[in-house]
Structure 1
Amino acid sequence: MDTRRQITAIQAAIILISTIIGVGVLPLPLFAAQAASTGGPLVTALGGLVALFGLFVITKLGQRFPDKSIVRYSEELIGKWPARIGSVCIIVFFALLTALAAREFGEVVVTSVLKKTPLDVTVIVMLLLAAMSTRNSITVFAYIHHFYFPVLLFPSLLIIVLSLKNANALFLQPVWGEGMSGFVPGMLTIAALFQAAFVMTMVIPAMRNPARAMRASMWGLGIAGGVYVLIVTATMAVFGPEETKKLLWPTLELAKVTSLPANILERLDAAFLAIWVTAVFTTLFSTYYFTIHSISQLIRLKDHKMFSMMLLPYIFVMAMYPKNVLHMYEVIAKVGRIGLFLTIVYPLLLLIVSYARRKGGGSDERDSSTSKEAGGSSPMA
């Protein structure tokens, strides 16, 4: 068996879920309420559909070139230098995503928990943890996500369910909000929170059966998107759209007003923050890993480990660039919308070129050969 192909479809879906659910869950209801008022859950779902389309495109591309990452097969499709420019832009974008996620983590921690700890200390600690973890193979990368997945998903769902006892359904009416003017910008802002799913371009070449990548992608983004919609629905049903607009991190406030039955725990914000730190780590881990893996692919190195610490100072400097929280969210909004071009439009152009030039199509061949070797038995996930 090829030792590089160890990731199952279930693991691929888990990687997507734990990568997408990250630092953005805290301000998510705020973005949704600002965009569509009572239509926050609807605009969140529509943003998820935009992200789903982008993920469908990159998964389809990955299935056509199951042995290569996007850095490699883009050179085959549009030429060496145009593809390298595109790859450099993607690498810089994911380095920025990593930096901004680390900065947002630091802002939340020094504001809510460690109020006397310097901001740069919390940022550098999380970045160091992610950098050291990236010195592993893609198989270990999948195992780490698999390990943290139950800690991330099930307690989050429990907190959402418990919070609904304080919900008021009138806060969610009308379902389509007060007007359609903010829907498109809101959809794009929320779709930007799903952009880390682009790591699927790195996961597909390591899958046992790339033909199952589409199923893994749909399940992964569907579950993550469902959690996002539930978070927005629960937060707005408890606080109402107008109050949600006044909160910087509405999801954290939701955890504060939620308690366990029989008042075993009167506030769940401490437990929620522990889950959230795990979610931030898995997202940072994925985006950091994708960044250094893509650099090694770009310059044709077999190993990416040398870049794990080499890139750290640059990402730290980018993380400390925003002047304050408000400036940070302005930068995040701008970077996120620019990133939609790199993570949706650019892959779509590559997919169109691959069909026009009749390049790729390797997933179907691999699937048929796997079926023959298996003697008709059903393949594992």
Structure 2
Amino acid sequence: MERQHRQITIIQTAIILISAIVGVGVLALSLFAVRAADTGAPLVTLFGFLIGLFGLWSVTKLGMRFPSQSIIQYSEDLIGKTIARIFSLMIIAFFCFLTAFASREFGEVIVTSVLVKTPLEVTVIVMLLLAAVSARADITTFAYIHHFYFPFIIFPVLLIVVFSLKNANLINLLPPLGNEPNNFFGGMFTMAALFQGSFIMTIIIPAMRNPEKAMIASYIGISIPGVMYMLIVIATVGVFGAEEIKKLVWPTLELAKTTSLPANILERLDGAFLAVWVAAVFTTLLSSYYLAINFISQLLRLHDHKLFSFFLVPFIYVIAMFPQNLLQMYEIIQTVGRGGLIYTIAYPFILLIVAILRQKKTKQNKSL
């Protein structure tokens, strides 16, 4: 790989991971955790984070063994072209589904909370087209886009969560294991699915200046969203209580409504939070879409992914509009998200085991 293709720094890699993970799932995060474990929601979130961390570790280890290739390329050397291409197609389909449901959830929130007279179809297609246009950029510009939006995503959300903690009641978080956890293990995998944006590392590592330091960026990039998600769950459960959260659709948005800045500078922060959330949705949706079209171009042995930047939009739009209502959409999202762990965690781990057993690896060209 030529020098100009390796432009991504460790800091940029961490930022891409953070903004790829933190996205549309922030609003319903606490609802998923509470339904699974009641007051044990923070513990479910923690275990979900650890599962996501394990998946990212596997992907990063693989990337460090094959620093000039993505998972589409080195998987064919490890398990054979036929099986690898089948799994590659499944991964592409999975990230198309993630893109579709992220855009649909974005549309549902916008037409419910802000643009109540705007058709749902308009908000969905606008976000998809915005992602498609942005996805035409090369990997360096892709990193700059994430870098630009990063401060607008992280700091306001942390500010809202920190100020909301003053309204929290510790008793709402007891017992820590939950009163009657209905689906603790299922909840763990649902929460782990919220970290699947970290799979973007498979195409970032080949563009890193120092791929041998990718693990540092990975730990930083997933730890910040992990801490943020934990704080959001603790704050929402502490303020509303587990039983009240079960009646809410978007607990984090309700938390923003009840939070105010000191001296009543802003009495409600839901408007500011939604503005920040839109940016977070865009970067997450862009990441999953960019990943899908890059994987297609690599699978077809093409040098440029721009050909597919608009090709997938109609298919993703149809998938996005398939759920009949909000409840059905969230049921499908949880099912697809948990099933996707096979491709984002189990599959990379199996590839890593095969690579170790077969002693397969490639060395980075030191002249780069």
**Which TM-score band (shorter chain)?**
over 0.9
Superposed, 1:336-375 pairs within 5 Å as 336-360=337-361, 362=363, 369=366
User: CA separation in 2, counterparts of 1:151 and 1:328?
Assistant: 28
Deviation at 1:165, TM superposition (A): 1.4
Matching residue of 2:140: 139
SS of corresponding position for 1:309: coil
Matching residue of 2:222: 221
- Kindly indicate whether residue 232 of structure 2 is the aligned counterpart of residue 231 of structure 1: yes
Matching residue of 2:201: 200
Matching residue of 2:183: 182
Matching residue of 1:331: 332
Q: What do residues 271-305 of structure 1 show as CA deviations (whole Å, max 9, x unaligned)?
A: 00000000000000100100000000000000000
Q: What do residues 73-104 of structure 1 show as CA deviations (whole Å, max 9, x unaligned)?
A: 00011111111001000000000000000000
Q: What is the aligned-residue identity percentage?
A: 64
- Kept in 1, the 8 Å contact 2:40–2:181? The answer is no
Matching residue of 1:98: 99
Matching residue of 1:16: 17
- Kept in 1, the 8 Å contact 2:35–2:182? The answer is no
- Kept in 1, the 8 Å contact 2:38–2:242? The answer is yes
Number of residue pairs matched by the alignment: 367
Query: RMSD of the alignment, in Å?
Result: 1.2
| Stretch of structure 1 that moved more, 172-181 or 43-52 | 172-181
Matching residue of 1:256: 257
- Kept in 1, the 8 Å contact 2:161–2:231? The answer is yes
Taking structure 1 as the reference length, the TM-score comes to 0.94
- Kindly indicate whether residue 91 of structure 2 is the aligned counterpart of residue 120 of structure 1: no
Change in Cα spacing, 1:180 to 1:328, as seen in structure 2 (3 Å) is closer
Deviation at 1:182, TM superposition (A): 2.2
User: CA separation in 1, counterparts of 2:180 and 2:47?
Assistant: 15
User: CA separation in 1, counterparts of 2:15 and 2:78?
Assistant: 30
One-letter amino acid of the counterpart of residue 252, structure 1: L
Superposed, 1:288-299 pairs within 5 Å as 288-299=289-300
Taking structure 2 as the reference length, the TM-score comes to 0.98
Q: What do residues 91-118 of structure 1 show as CA deviations (whole Å, max 9, x unaligned)?
A: 0000000000000000011111111100
Q: Where in structure 1 are there 5+ consecutive unaligned residues?
A: 374-381
Where do 4+ consecutive residues of structure 1 move more than 3 Å? none
Q: What do residues 36-55 of structure 1 show as CA deviations (whole Å, max 9, x unaligned)?
A: 11111111011000000000
One-letter amino acid of the counterpart of residue 361, structure 2: G
One-letter amino acid of the counterpart of residue 232, structure 1: V
Matching residue of 1:74: 75
Matching residue of 2:84: 83
Matching residue of 2:42: 41
Matching residue of 1:308: 309
SS of corresponding position for 2:159: helix
Matching residue of 2:169: 168
- Kept in 1, the 8 Å contact 2:153–2:276? The answer is yes
- Kindly indicate whether residue 32 of structure 2 is the aligned counterpart of residue 31 of structure 1: yes
User: CA separation in 1, counterparts of 2:162 and 2:353?
Assistant: 43
SS of corresponding position for 2:190: helix
Deviation at 1:180, TM superposition (A): 5.4
User: CA separation in 1, counterparts of 2:236 and 2:19?
Assistant: 21
Q: Where in structure 2 are there 5+ consecutive unaligned residues?
A: none
